[in-house]
Amino acid sequence: MHIVITGGAGFLGARLARTLLAQGSLALAGAAPRPIERITLVDRAAPPADLAADTRIAAVVGDLNAQLADADAAYWAEANAVFHLAAAVSGECEADFDLGMRSNFGATNALLERLRNAGTAPVLVFSSSLAVFGNSPEQPLPEIIDDNTLPTPQTSYGIQKFIGEQLVADYTRKGFIRGRSVRLMTVSVRPGLPNGAASGFFSGMIREPLAGIRAACPVPDETLVALASPARTVEGIVRAAEASDAQWGPRTALNLPSLSLTVGGMAAALERVAGKAATALLDRTPDPAIQRIVKTWPGRIEARRARGLGLLPDASFEDVIRDYVRENPDAVKLPANA
């Protein structure tokens, strides 16, 4: 089996690749498991050293739109499954409309056309976002979002992701691909450096204090957020590829499970794990630009379809933080409580 991951050198892409390599096989769309012979990682950056050293990994470094336009790029037609994770993030899309349209709408449309022209109908998993749901005074969201709630995005990023969902649904209806769109929750805790996402502080307010560094917490404590750990997020992405058509159900996007809690609750969990020395490093200075984006996102998500696939949310945010500490010991300077 040959798998392509766009954004494959990024945090989630690399974690997905490691998960698939560890599995060694994949049961695509309800079929019997097949050995994974090759994973092609397409990204602007080179993959991490551990992935680059694996003989099953092929790295394609460069702009995704350029790679999709390259007539000699045979890996698109050879792919049995494509995980489309590459995207410009929310804050970037608000600051640079053209970047968002090129990276999110343009690249997704070009990818679908490349796969249609290949005529191989691979399984495609598209990473959408809870940002397709946006609250507004004119059209307020229900208290709890479910799989049938009408998306009303309030940001360019959310609009672009919703367009991607609809394109994937139509290309699937026409038989060009076997598409599955999964709406990712806010992923926390992400290791590494901050990115341009408006949601980035949801990781930074945990990651930086654990490293002994001050961190921004730019929204009020009562702000409600739907979170998922990196492990649960990748689990949902893989399960989307494995589900049979009958298990998957309608062509519309599926909400991945989430843990619903407030920013104050996140800080309290950090204090239980690393003590007051950690929460003392939180800078509570408000950021109106971040608040304008984050306050439109829902905080309570019902994921009935995902539960039907055996997917569950994280048990607690405290457990999520402890998983981060265990997985990233070199990035943690404050002593964690047992």
Calpha distance 77→35 (Å, rounded): 18
Residue ranges of domains in the chain, CATH in brackets = 2-185+230-255 (3.40.50.720)
Calpha distance 152→323 (Å, rounded): 34
Predicted pLDDT at 335: 67
Which are the contacts of 19, defined by CB distance < 8 A and separation ≥ 6? 234, 238
Nearest to 268 by CA among 309, 232, 318: 318
C-alpha pair distances (Å), 90 with each of 83, 113, 298? 20, 25, 15
| Residue 148 DSSP label | T
Q: Is the pLDDT of residue 250 over 80?
A: yes
Predicted pLDDT at 332: 86
Summarize the confidence of residues 301-314 as an average pLDDT.
Answer: 96
Q: Note the pTM of the prediction, 2 decimals.
A: 0.94
Q: Say how many residues make up the chain.
A: 338
Cα–Cα–Cα angle for 301, 302, 305, rounded to 5 degrees: 130
Summarize the confidence of residues 241-250 as an average pLDDT.
Answer: 96
Share of the chain above pLDDT 90, in %: 88
Predicted pLDDT at 54: 97
Catalytic-labelled residue, pool 75, 157, 171, 324: 157
**Is there a catalytic annotation at residue 157?**
yes
Nearest to 262 by CA among 290, 233, 295, 293: 295
Calpha distance 251→114 (Å, rounded): 20
**Where residue 195 falls among pLDDT bands split at 50, 70, 90?**
confident
